[in-house]
């Protein structure tokens, strides 16, 4: 097992580092304070990214490219789009998580389109900036409890329901909505539908004021007899009890390693800044002493580095498995659970270690601590990830282990 980053990704990583340092960091505090104001600086970067993807021989990078590779029987060793996206977003979130979530045409809905859309839908919707609407007032981490309905009506579907915490819900060109075709058939009837901005019956009710990722808009959206064409149902329209909603859930197997990478990025930023600030006090931060002879702060920083490295390796493995067409549901949840918890722990502890500098707005440490919390919540909370891992390890279904 080669633990080094493939050399072919060096240009991507270097470019992401430059964007994080030169574009994101300088405006990070500005858009944290100006919540709901669109970061215009991202338009140029998004255009550059579109150009790179259009000309990429290997499929490009980003949320809209996260389709899983065909299985190679476990005999190959492919590092592709999933790995590139994880590595790139890790660096971008070293700059700013909220801004990374605000890049046009890189919404979570784009990953759903890439995961389950057919060829016609990919061609038609591939360049659409799509948000993802899953969570409801009565259905949070339990996606199977979704109550929003999609009723077949002639050549279309009629959506009714309410979605909350929709990232980029106001800014995006479309929203991928999870809804049920038949509440009596449970999770098997849940499908994802693309609703384009401006469709009659879709209303953005409000934008949330949040603890962190303030540069990213988070919307509550209501669907009131919202009619969409049948071709906007992503994937297979048939309700299959055996298959369940595996197609829709495959989105999470692709995106959870990405969110884990985001947590690693913001935690790395906090750890790096904390080392810089503590080094100014003259504290020895080198590794040549035994732990029992080191200053307490040095020992703690090194322990956090070890936890972060463990999360990073788990995340790279989950992304590699997706690139090689291997089932990675358990590994994706392990990576998300580990990185989400470690990211939040590291950023909070860095605030504590840096005292007044960590708690005040002179540095970005307090902001990173606020931003990191969401990465342990969305794409499935810490508790849900542990439940999924337990089900996979024990061979239990969701009905058998709740």
Catalytic positions = 379
220 bridge partner residues: 206
Residue 51 φ/ψ, nearest 5 degrees:
-65, -40
Are 19 and 92 a contacting pair, CB within 8 Å?
yes
Q: Which residues of 137-165 are buried (b: 16+ CB within 10 A; e: fewer)?
A: eebbbebeebebbbeeeeebbbbbbbbbb
> How many Cα atoms within 13 Å fall on the side-chain side of residue 99?
35
Structure-block tokens of residue 1? 């097992």
Are 385 and 337 a contacting pair, CB within 8 Å?
yes
Distance CA 386, CA 64 (A): 27
CA Rg value for the chain: 21
Cβ neighbourhood burial of 96 (10 Å; 0-12, 13-18, 19+): buried
21 backbone φψ class: left, alpha, beta (φ>0; ψ -120 to 50): alpha
Dihedral, 283, 286, 288, 292 alpha carbons, nearest 10: 50
Q: CB-based contacts of 25: which residues, under 8 Å, 6+ apart?
A: 95, 96, 364
Distance CA 368, CA 212 (A): 8
Distance CA 112, CA 117 (A): 8
Distance CA 346, CA 269 (A): 10
Distance CA 174, CA 169 (A): 8
**Nearest residue to 187 (alpha-carbon basis) of 178, 174, 177:** 178
């Amino acid at each position: 097992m080669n633990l080094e980053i493939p050399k072919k990704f060096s240009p991507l990583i270097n470019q992401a580092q430059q964007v994080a340092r030169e574009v994101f960091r300088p405006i990070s505090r500005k858009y944290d304070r100006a919540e709901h104001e669109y970061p215009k600086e991202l338009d140029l970067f998004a255009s550059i990214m579109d150009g790179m993807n259009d000309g990429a021989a290997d499929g490009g990078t980003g949320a809209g490219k996260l389709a899983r590779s065909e299985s190679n029987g476990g005999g190959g060793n492919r590092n592709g789009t999933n790995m590139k996206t994880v590595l790139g977003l890790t660096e971008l979130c070293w700059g700013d998580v909220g801004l990374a979530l605000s890049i046009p045409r890189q919404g979570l809905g784009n990953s759903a389109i890439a995961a389950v859309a057919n060829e016609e839908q990919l061609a038609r919707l591939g360049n659409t900036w799509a948000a993802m609407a899953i969570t409801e007032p009565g259905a949070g981490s339990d996606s199977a409890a979704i109550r929003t309905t999609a009723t077949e009506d002639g050549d279309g579907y009629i959506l009714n329901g309410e979605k909350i915490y929709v990232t980029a819900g106001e800014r995006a060109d479309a929203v991928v909505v999870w809804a049920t075709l038949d509440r009596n058939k449970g999770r098997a009837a849940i499908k994802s539908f693309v609703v384009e901005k401006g469709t009659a019956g879709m209303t953005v009710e409000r934008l949330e004021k949040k603890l962190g990722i303030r540069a990213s808009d988070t919307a509550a959206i209501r669907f009131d007899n919202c009619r969409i064409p049948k071709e906007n149902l992503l994937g297979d329209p048939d309700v299959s009890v055996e298959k369940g909603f595996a197609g829709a859930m495959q989105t999470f197997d692709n995106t959870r390693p990405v969110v884990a990478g985001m947590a690693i990025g913001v935690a790395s930023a906090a750890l790096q800044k904390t080392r810089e600030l503590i080094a100014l006090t003259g504290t020895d931060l080198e590794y040549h002493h035994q732990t029992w002879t080191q200053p307490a702060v040095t020992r703690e920083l090194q322990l956090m580095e070890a936890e972060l490295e463990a999360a990073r390796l788990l995340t790279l493995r989950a992304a590699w498995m997706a690139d090689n067409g291997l089932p990675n549901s358990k590994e994706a949840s392990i990576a998300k659970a580990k990185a989400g918890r470690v990211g939040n722990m590291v950023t909070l502890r860095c605030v504590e270690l840096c005292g007044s500098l960590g708690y005040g707005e002179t540095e970005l440490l307090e902001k990173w601590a606020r931003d990191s919390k969401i990465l342990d919540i969305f794409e499935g909370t810490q508790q849900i990830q542990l439940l999924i891992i337990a089900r996979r390890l024990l061979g239990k279904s969701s009905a058998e282990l709740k």
